[in-house]
Chains A and B, each alone.
Chain A
Amino acid sequence: MSTAVETPEVPEQVIEAPSTVATKKNRRNQIIALGALAALGAVPIPFGDYGFFIGQYAAVYAMLGLSVTIVTGYAGLISLMPYTFAGLGAVMTGLIMTGWGWPFWLAAPMAALATLPVSLVVGMASVRLKTLYLAIATLTFSTALGETFFRWDLVTGGRIGWTVASPQLGPIDFGTDLNFYLLCLLVVLGLVWMTEGLRTSRLGRAMLAVRDNELEAQALGINVYKTKLAAFVLSGMMAGFGGAFLAVLLGNVSPGGYQSPVAEVTSILLVSLVVIGGIDRAWGAFFGAISLVVQSQVFQGARFFFPFFGMYSAFFLILFLLFRPGGLVQVSKITTELVKRRPVFGLAVVLVTVALNLGIAYIFIRAS
């Protein structure tokens, strides 16, 4: 009789058998995944500079997405300010490279470190709060920082911003689209590898434990507050580091680009892309970034459909949250399993899906 109150259970998150254990099998899985990602990275090459540009975008957004993976995927904290941290990193990069004349290779780690004071202050004030309150607090901080730091003339050089030169390494110039793309790809692969490594560690497992059950985590001797704060800080550093690449990608830094409402909108976009890609595993951010950036380019190519892109991505965010909370990572796992059990049927499904997608993309582009 009480069926009215029963809401359907959210499907259990699919996490591959011991993913937090550094076993041989796990290491092999990581290498396979990295190889697959690298192969995906080769896809833009035949498309020339345009392909590299999209690839750079996807790679940088994947770096920023990894910050969401750590804080929300691992530690279960919802932060609505990842893009603000990216902005901090980007502005620091502009300041260090253009203002002080330091090379990019120093500026990028400094950009990551520069997020520390902010993430510590915001984290200490809000990490103790429950999920909902944390979401409100980070949203508020994001807007407030847009109103203060990104307007603070001393830091920002009067709001005009700086142009950012492309990195240089000896004779190699990363100013060309191909070179910078390869650099971004390499870095994002490294960051995915690092984020996966975090999972199989004392702190990473503590984060997953805290997400699952705070009381049990405490009973097992885990300092919940410190663990959450660490997740928040690491996530901020990841976004700040990605922000350095964002600055180079955009070619300039204008603090206004990290104020309300752009900051909030992009933060939401980052959260969606990570959820769609798979919030549990590090490569989810990469999948999500590729799928979202490529699709937005397809939509952009089709002028008639472009206005629908916002609704389209929101729709998929909600669909994934309701039915596949593990994102594309979960989908690919289910598909692999299907192919293993029923090869012919499974491969047919994969082929039809790919063909359908290509067909739709073709129709979209032709329709404009």
Chain B
Amino acid sequence: MTLAINPIEVASFGISAGAVFGLLALGLVLIYRTTGVMNFGHWAIGLVAVVSYAWLTGEGMLPQAALPICLLLAMGAGVAAYRLVFKRIARSNQIIVILVAVGIAQFYSSLAALVLGFRPFTRLPPWLPMATLEVAGMRLRMSDVYTIGVGLAIAVGFFFWFRVSRSGQALRAVAQNREAAVLAGIDDVRYSSLAWAIGSGLAALALLIIMPHSAGQQGGLITTFDLTPLGTLLIPAFGAALVGGLVNLPMALVGGVFFGLTREFLVLAPAPWSELRTSVAAILIVVLLLLRTERFFATRQELEALEA
């Protein structure tokens, strides 16, 4: 990739990366709010979709046809993790919850590596158009434009569904006050499963947006480097989620774009800084942690409910 100098080009990279972080963060926040689990296995569950995508397209399936199947598989992986494991742990025991989430991450990433047969890399054909667009002397990648579009569409659709539909409202009720929701006759296991399904689907979508479109015209690759339990991109996603105090959904998306833009504009910075993407994100995360952003987005009661 040539170094983009035009700030609008860089911004387009940044916003599209940000949309991906935002989708990851949205899933993290949704699952955390509803079930009190910070899902360290988020990336690994997304990998389930990526390796099935690699496998199905390798068998000759059309990428666009494989996509929904892969999303469903990841959703199944997430729901299985909730139903078989997280449902059985008292959420007040955060130490165990986090360690189990780490175990789930290890499990699914090993599964992914196994499915790919431990090859150093596997080709992933693109499912978004890969052409470049020339507008007023700027070169924009179509995949970025689509990514931003998909991210926006999902965000709008999601928030609309969350606010307006019956199941969305039930989900919000469970997230806000589990006990009261259960007393009101809402089946909290069902809606927690729904949150896991949606969250995992979002993770899968995020990974299926980046990975198959990362290497230019030919599509993309999945390497052993990507097959780790806690992917590097999980860090900006955590950062994005922290912008909304781990509880606020729209702010998580905003946070995603913020981290995406920071990351891409760093490329323009002088030498040592341009290589320190994760470190800069780390500093931002520490600042966010010390600001205790959750104060701004959740009441004391909600926070206590999340902990106990």
Contact = CB atoms under 8 A, between A and B. Distances in A.
User: Do chains A and B directly touch (beta carbons under 8 Å) in the complex?
Assistant: yes
Majority secondary structure of chain B interface residues (helix, strand, loop or mixed):
helix
Interface stretch (B130-138, B147-155, B198-206, B227-235): B227-235
Nearest to A152: B272
Interface stretch (B8-16, B81-89, B162-170, B207-215): B81-89
Interface string B30-42: 0000000010100
A132 B38 contact: yes
Contact of B182 (A4, A260, A268): A4
A195 B193 CA distance: 42
B196 to A, nearest CB: 15
B276 interface: yes
A268 B188 contact: no
B114 A307 contact: yes
A137 B105 contact: no
A229 interface: no
Given A5-B179, A136-B289, A310-B106, A148 B99 contact: no
A314 B107 contact: yes
B114 A5 contact: no
Nearest to A262: B228
B118 interface: yes
A126 interface: yes
A90 B183 CA distance: 56
A318 B289 contact: no
B187 interface: yes
Most chain A C-beta atoms within 10 Å of own C-beta, residue among B87, B113, B235, B246: B235
B98 interface: yes
Majority secondary structure of chain A interface residues (helix, strand, loop or mixed):
helix
Given A2-B182, A125-B286, A268 B106 contact: yes
Given A140-B285, A261-B225, A321-B99, A314 B110 contact: yes
Contact of B282 (A133, A140, A261, A272): A140
Contacts of A148: 276, 279
B308 interface: no
Given A148-B276, A268-B106, A7 B40 contact: no
A129 interface: yes
Contact of A137 (B100, B179, B285): B285
The 3 closest A-B CB pairs, nearest first, are A310-B110, A261-B228, A314-B107
15 contacts: A4-B188, A10-B93, A78-B99, A131-B98, A133-B289, A140-B286, A143-B278, A144-B281, A144-B283, A310-B106, A310-B113, A314-B106, A318-B104, A321-B103, A322-B88
Interface of B: 38, 40, 85, 87-91, 93-96, 98-100, 102-107, 109-111, 113-114, 117-118, 178-179, 182-183, 187-189, 225, 228-232, 234-235, 238, 242, 246, 275-279, 281-283, 285-286, 289-290, 307
Interface of A: 2, 4-5, 7-10, 72, 76, 78, 80, 125-126, 129-133, 135-137, 139-141, 143-144, 146-148, 151, 260-261, 264-265, 268, 271-272, 275, 307-311, 313-315, 317-318, 321-322, 325
